Structure 1
Amino acid sequence: MTPGTTTPLIKQGWLRAVLLFVAFISAGVLAGMAGGLFSLTLAGGTAFSQTLLNSITLALFIFELVGIVLVILFRRYIDRRPVKSLGFQWQTFQPDALTGFCLGMALLGAGSLVLLASHNLEWTDARFAPADLFMGLVLMVVIAFTEEMVFRGYILNNLMESMNKWVALAISAGLFTFAHGSNPGISFIAVINLLLAGLLLGINFIYTRNIWFAICFHFSWNFLQGPVLGYEVSGLPLQSVLQPSLHGPWWITGGSFGLEGSFVATGLLLFALLLLYAAYEKRYVKPVTAS
């Protein structure tokens, strides 16, 4: 706790993190139930699948907004600290934000090139619908902000007040994985990749206590993956510019979970994680010199 700050309503950082996680998951369950009930009221027909997708997207959008509200309320009234202390300082962290944004695009681009080169992917059509692309953009921005505020800005931040940063990172990544565990098309490879993604999204934070790298990486990964390239985003189908056709075993293509469910993504995420670890250890950890 920095000098001059008010004592939190709940002293233990780990307990504050757990309570926020429970509240966030509960909101997700309620949003899922609401989306399911709404879909049951829809009439069948040719427009059913599109209407169903719209209802799921709307339920997800509302849930993500509720998540932002929860974090703000917890930070202000449980932690008794300003929202900016979640890691929103922008000045001097623009390079981190740019690194995150470019890294997301680079990994998705590399994964797509691997699938193309192995003849497991081809794009059969391209349809540019500005309204769909804009809605995808807005949804991916909201998802990136919400999940990074929840899992890195709040949960990882508070866990680091109670334990070693690496233990905190591992637990936050585990909770991030658990939160996505009921997504459509989930597999054991997808679980591994979600855990790696949680570690990758949090590794910058444990060195900088800043959230912009994670937000920009999360956004560029999801936006390029879904609304642009046409993969499912953690099992969620979206309207996209490119229409992909995937061939081959699911453990290479990711199956219905999207590229995130493939061993291709496993290799890319692990490589990026090790690369960032080496870079941050060199940049932020000062070597001990002999006196």
Structure 2
Amino acid sequence: MQTQTTDLLPDPSLSPTDQLPPERPSTLHNVFFGDEGLRAGWSILIFVALMAVSFWGVNALGPLLHLVPVRSATQSSVTLRFAFLAESLPLAATLLVTWIMSKIERRPNSVYGLGGRRKLSHFLAGLAWGVACLSLLCLILWKTGLFVSNGRLLFGFDALRYGTLWFLGFLLVGFFEEYLNRGYLLFTISRGLSGIYQWIFKTRHSKALGFWTAAILIALFFGLSHGKNPNESPIGLLAATLVSLVFCLSLWRTGSLWWAIGFHASWDWAQSFLYGASDSGIMIEQHLLATHPFGKPLMSGGATGPEGSIFVLLVLVLVSLIIIFTLPRTNSGYASKLPSPPIEA
């Protein structure tokens, strides 16, 4: 039998360079880069380092330039000026660092939570549900005698002016906290963990496993970060942890942060301005109603505010159901934003 050797001969149509086998990446290259680009661990280290430098700059330059008034760690009331500057400067730093990371990783900035086709509708729905759910919580406390109103403090133009200004202030709070905790950081931890799950288990559910593991880690961090607030309570810390997971649920279904930003802003606004209650132990200087808790802090929320009450857990269950039934998951959900880990044969 004659052996065919034509397949072993070089293709005359190819140049000598094209006939060479592709060069395999070096070990050093593989340490820093994977199939989806810069590895998630290095990305997180760069992001944290840039954020630390940015926040150091904000903390150093703010008081030096008399931009942000110095506030005591035990001070439980906040002025409009402090709220605007204390939230807008870190938000600007977060936006800048996230944009830098998008250029380093060569990804569209929209994948970190601010994209999506229904930005306005999700944002407005979040605003409406935030006020409604906080009002329900206050109604429960009022009907059970745990929340007492002492009357109205603002009238006419003052009510409209301060209500608008504090809404803008809490919009900054919602935007900053959502984008910092559930923007770039959540995306990058999710893609890193989904790659690990795919490597270990070879499962088609690696994206979901990666996202929800990252969501739990972020939620624990978010809850613990509220521990520095004055008058915070164990129930308040638990509520902050759980609401982070609830916001992650809205992100998972819609692929964007807009619903969570709207809900976060209006919940805080209604609690602080509309009902004049503490928000994680912090009061604002101007509010529409004068109210106070009555009874055991576990039930009333005490100095923490309504979200320090045990009843907040029931409301968070309701919020989860609202997300599930009003935000049906589509092909534009969060899983579509994550890069697909390589599937080994």
Match for residue 91 of structure 1?
117
- More divergent stretch after superposition (268-277 vs 218-227): 268-277
Moved more, 251-260 or 129-138: 129-138
Q: Is the 8 A contact 1:8 1:78 kept in 2?
A: no
Q: Pick from 158, 164, 169: which aligns with 1:134?
A: 164
- Give, in angstroms, the shift of residue 184 of structure 1: 1.2
Question: Which of 214, 233, 250 pairs up with 1:168?
Answer: 214
Unpaired segments of 5 or more residues in structure 2? Answer: 1-33, 194-209, 332-345
Matches within 5 A, 1:8-47: 11-17=38-44, 20=47, 24=51, 27=55, 31=59, 34=63, 38-39=70-71
Query: 189-198 or 262-271: which moved more?
Result: 262-271
Matches within 5 A, 1:56-135: 56-57=82-83, 60-126=86-152, 127-128=154-155, 129=158, 130-135=160-165
With over 3 angstroms needed to count, the CA separation of the structure-2 counterparts of 1:201 and 1:246, relative to structure 1, is same
Q: Does 1:202 align with 2:248?
A: yes
- Higher share in helix: 1
Which range moves more in the overlay, 125-134 or 180-189? 125-134
Residue 284 (structure 1) shift: 4.9
How far apart are 1:63 and its partner, in Å?
4.5
Q: 2:181 aligns with which of 130, 146, 151?
A: 151
1:173–1:24 CA distance, 2 compared to 1 (3 A): farther
Q: Deviations over 1:185-211 (max 9, x none)?
A: 122111110111100111121233211
TM-score by length of 1: 0.77
Alignment deviations for residues 245-291 of structure 1 (CA, whole Å, 9 cap, x no partner): 221111122222221211111221133225535776x7459xxxxxx
- Equivalent residue number for residue 240 of structure 1: 287
Aligned to 2:271: 225
Give me the whole-angstrom Cα distance separating, in 2, the residues matched to 1:115 and 1:149.
Answer: 31
CA-based RMSD: 3.5
Assess, with a 3 A threshold, how the Cα gap between structure 1 residues 11 and 230 changes in structure 2: closer, same or farther: same
Identity %: 22
> Would the alpha carbon gap of residues 98 and 30 (structure 1) be closer, same or farther in structure 2, given more than 3 Å must change?
closer
Which residue is equivalent to 1:270?
Answer: 317
For residues 96-125 of structure 1, give each alpha carbon's deviation from its aligned partner in whole angstroms, at most 9, with x where no partner exists.
Answer: 334322221221011011011011112212
Task: Give the superposition deviation at 1:140.
Answer: 0.6
Name whichever of 92-101 and 182-191 sits farther off: 92-101
TM superposition shift of 1:137: 1.5
Higher mean alpha-carbon deviation, 175-184 vs 22-31, is at 22-31
Residue in 2 that maps onto 1:288: none
Q: CA deviation at 1:227?
A: 1.6
Letter in 1 for 2:105: D
* Cα-to-partner distance string for 1:146-192 (whole Å, 9 max, x where unaligned): 11111122121222211222112111212222332211112211111
**Secondary structure in structure 2 of the residue aligned to 1:160:** helix
Equivalence for 2:224: 178
Q: How many residues align?
A: 270
Kindly provide the amino acid, as one letter, of the partner of residue 216 in structure 2. Answer: A
| CA distance in 2 between partners of 1:79 and 1:244 (Å) | 49
Q: TM-score, length-normalised on structure 2?
A: 0.66
Q: Sort the Cα spacing of 1:208 and 1:133 in 2 relative to 1 into closer, same or farther, 3 A.
A: closer
Give 1:61 shift.
2.9
Shift of 1:139: 1.1
| Structure 1 residue 138: Cα displacement | 1.8
Task: Indicate the structure (1 or 2) with the bigger Cα radius of gyration.
Answer: 2
